[in-house]
Amino acid sequence: MSVNAVIDVTIGLILMYLLLSLICTIINEFIGTFMGWRAANLARSIEQLIDDETLRGAIKATGVMGSFDKVSGKRGPSYIPSRAFALGVVRALNGNQPGTMDTLRGAVGNLPDSVIRNVLEDLADEAGGDIDIYRRNLADWFDDVMERASGGFKRKMKICSFVVAMAVVLAVNGDSVQVAKSLWEDAALRSQIAEAASELVQDTGLVDDLADIKVISAELRPLPIGWDFDSPDWSSDWYRSPGGWVVKLFGLLFTAMAVTLGAPFWFDLLSKFIKFRGAGAVPKTRREREQERQPATV
């Protein structure tokens, strides 16, 4: 077997990881939205950041922050831009008015002793007399703190992602060992998958363009995955052999772990392998193929 065969098998595996990652991303987003994890994490984080209940209520009552609650339903917003948060804090401190740094300093000084008061005072000292600088510093502080506060949410999503990935891999029998073996033994299938991957990269500018279940389904169809309980190979390959069970579980587990790396990772890697493969003609884009099929006009 040539080096090109090894590259084509690798491309086939990467394509499978990419497409399964996209499916898992769709499911994860649905679960996260349905369970309200993002909104709950944001609400809990803001409650910890603004440890003065009166100020927290005043911030929510401002127009810029209240609008997020109105359009987000009972669970509240799952994301608030740092600029909107900073504007809401400044307006809350200035009686829902733009105000000046002098009025803002006075309002901060009247707050009860709390962590948020100390933060606002430090930011005011750093901004001097420029309220625009104050808002920018406040927005930067909000971004930094929320990045750290999102750690718990990210850990929860990682666990969810692995569980979802394992379920999807089991459902489609995404066994890396079996897929690699099938591609290695079938030159025609290996070439078909590699060309399909090349066309996919050529036709797609961003991985987000692939987030369509119909496109994903069409690309998955040629891959040697899925359960076939009527085939004699199903029992002879691994079912009756303890060693076969070990290899099968390893192949499924390896795929699930690979899928959790995310679609952007696999799309970038697939693009690099397609470029590396590129001996021969570059696959034509979908638009070019459609133009070739159109009848010539005089």
* Rounded Cα–Cα distance for residues 240 and 248 (Å): 12
Domain coordinates in residue numbering, the chain = 3-31+154-288, 40-150
State residue 208's pLDDT score: 61
CA-based diameter of the chain, in Å? 82
Please report which confidence band the pLDDT of residue 283 belongs to, taking 50, 70 and 90 as the band edges.
very low
User: Is residue 77 helix, strand or coil?
Assistant: coil
Q: What's the rounded mean pLDDT across residues 45-73?
A: 85
Residue pair 68/77 in contact (Cβ under 8 Å)? The answer is yes
State residue 171's pLDDT score: 92
Return the closest-CA partner of residue 25 out of 164, 155, 151, 147.
Answer: 164
State residue 239's pLDDT score: 61
Percent of the chain having pLDDT more than 90?
27
34: tokens are: 């349905």
Please report which confidence band the pLDDT of residue 279 belongs to, taking 50, 70 and 90 as the band edges.
very low
State residue 42's pLDDT score: 85
Name the residue with higher pLDDT: 155 or 180.
180
Provide the 10 A C-beta neighbour count for residue 14.
21
Q: What's the rounded mean pLDDT across residues 134-155?
A: 85
State residue 9's pLDDT score: 92
* In the predicted structure, residue 169 carries a pLDDT above the cut 90: yes
State residue 214's pLDDT score: 67
- How distant is the alpha carbon of residue 22 from its chain centre? 9
Q: pTM for this structure? A: 0.68
